[in-house]
Amino acid sequence: MENKGSVWGEFTKGLISQNPTLVGLLGMCPTLAVTTLAKNGIGMGLATTFVLVCSNIVISSLKKVIPKAVRLPCFIVIIAGFVTVIEFLMKGFLPELYDALGVFLSLITVNCIILGRAEAFASKNGVFASALDGLGMGLGFTLALFLMGSLREIIGTGSWFGMKIPVLCDHPMTVFIMPAGGFFVLGMLIALVNMFAGKKPPKEISCEGCPSAAICKGQCREEADE
Amino acid sequence: MKQSVKELIMPPLVLTIICAVVCGLLVTAHDATYVDNTGILTKKLRTGCEEIFGGGEYEMLVTEEDGKRLPVTFGEKGVDSIIVDKAAGNCLIEYTGDGYKKDGLHILVGFGSDGAVSGISFISIGETPGLGTKVQEDSFTGQFIGYTAGGNLDNIDGVTAATYSSKGMKAAVGSCAEIYGSHRGEIFGGE
């Protein structure tokens, strides 16, 4: 049985310590593309949270029913189903946000955060823990997108949620709402999170944790030493 | 190793059931959220009309095809609908055109009884915030007031750093004026 501490941990880990965007560097496409406005960031974040929670719950409930051979197609069908539902809802009730998010709303289906959590967590854990994991990761993603959208909107257009900010609105730095500004703000936010988390680059390069270690077998280190 | 019958049947069966359930969910969601606005003067369009001409008795020109209400567009590219206030002699053309983004400009262009552009209202805009969206400002749209078909659009100053959006607006208003000029009689129920 899950204890209280671990349940709370499942929820909070996605907010900062394992934030999917700023720490895991997942879901970069929507992060850079839709965050020209804070409103768009929140909209995309909440839509992704809805899909994450729902797909985690369903996948976790069906984990014993879904055969391994068709695991990924089943996950994709479930995720795509929820994405289409949120698309219908947004088109019906929030048409402006639907227009602003454009193709990136449909592309939530292939967002690696969702498939990643389905594969790494929901397919191996209970329904409640999976729901909390989805909620935490989704809110962490929303938080990152909201921060990026706010910074880009404030500096790039001199307004926030459409409200004009004195002085800044007279001298907007439009590069911040262009792709280059998106990369710059994202880099700054990642650096800030690393600074607060006390993350430092490794002092010595080792094979530990290297994804190519099995192929390379330490050859790169020998070449570097030479 | 030979696979058992269960191992062969179960994967496609489970996938088929999941697909069927998801399809059912989507049909329900679609039925619950879809609203067919074709040929209907929506609140958004009415607000746009009132922004240009103030209150009035606006009606959308519609035609019936196979029992379905469809807006009159005269087969012109970009025209979504035509709205008229017959008593005042005003006409508004709902038009969707390309700016920096494809179909990024969704506007209403109002023509007064004198046949010239009286104002422009935006139904939605998909241009770059802070750049292309500046074409909504009165300082830009105001330059089109008084424009008639065949007029010169070259003397209209574009918005700085929003070349594509400005060009898109000029093309959209120019097309609307041409369409209004050539179909004015039909719009007001004459010849």
How many residues are listed for chain A in this entry? Answer: 226
How many Cβ pairs closer than 8 A exist between chain A and B? 71
pLDDT at B191: 44
Compute the average pLDDT of residues A33-39.
90
Question: Does residue B124 surpass a pLDDT of 90?
Answer: no
Compute the average pLDDT of residues B106-130.
90
Question: Does residue B19 surpass a pLDDT of 90?
Answer: yes
Compute the average pLDDT of residues B135-145.
93
Q: Do the beta carbons of residue A46 and residue A89 sit within 8 Å?
A: no
- Considering only CA atoms, give the Rg of chain A: 20
3-state DSSP assignment of residue B120: strand
How many Å separate Cα B138 from the centre of its chain?
20
pLDDT at A225: 65
Average pLDDT over chain B, rounded to an integer: 89
Query: What would the two tokens of residue A127 be?
Result: 């329904």
Name which of A78, A88, A156 is nearest B30 (Cβ-Cβ). A88
Higher pLDDT pick, A167 / A220: A167
Name which of B26, B32, B128 is nearest A84 (Cβ-Cβ). B26
pLDDT at B172: 95
pLDDT at A205: 66
* Cβ within 8 Å, pair A81-B33: no
Nearest 5 degrees, angle CA B62-CA B63-CA B69? 80
Which amino acid, one-letter code, is at A14? G
Question: Domain spans of chain B?
Answer: 1-34, 43-187
Compute the average pLDDT of residues A56-74.
92
Q: How confident is the model at residue A2 (pLDDT cuts 50, 70, 90)?
A: very low
Which residues of A have a CB under 8 Å from any CB of B? Answer: 36-37, 62, 65-67, 69-70, 73-74, 77-78, 80-81, 84-85, 88-89, 91-93, 95-96, 99-100, 102, 153, 156-158, 172, 174, 177-178
What ipTM was estimated for this complex?
Answer: 0.75
- Mutation pick from A66, A84, A85, A105 vs chain B, by most beta carbons of B within 10 Å, is A85
Q: Do the beta carbons of residue A131 and residue A53 sit within 8 Å?
A: yes
Residue B168: name the closest of B100, B93, B78 by CA.
B100
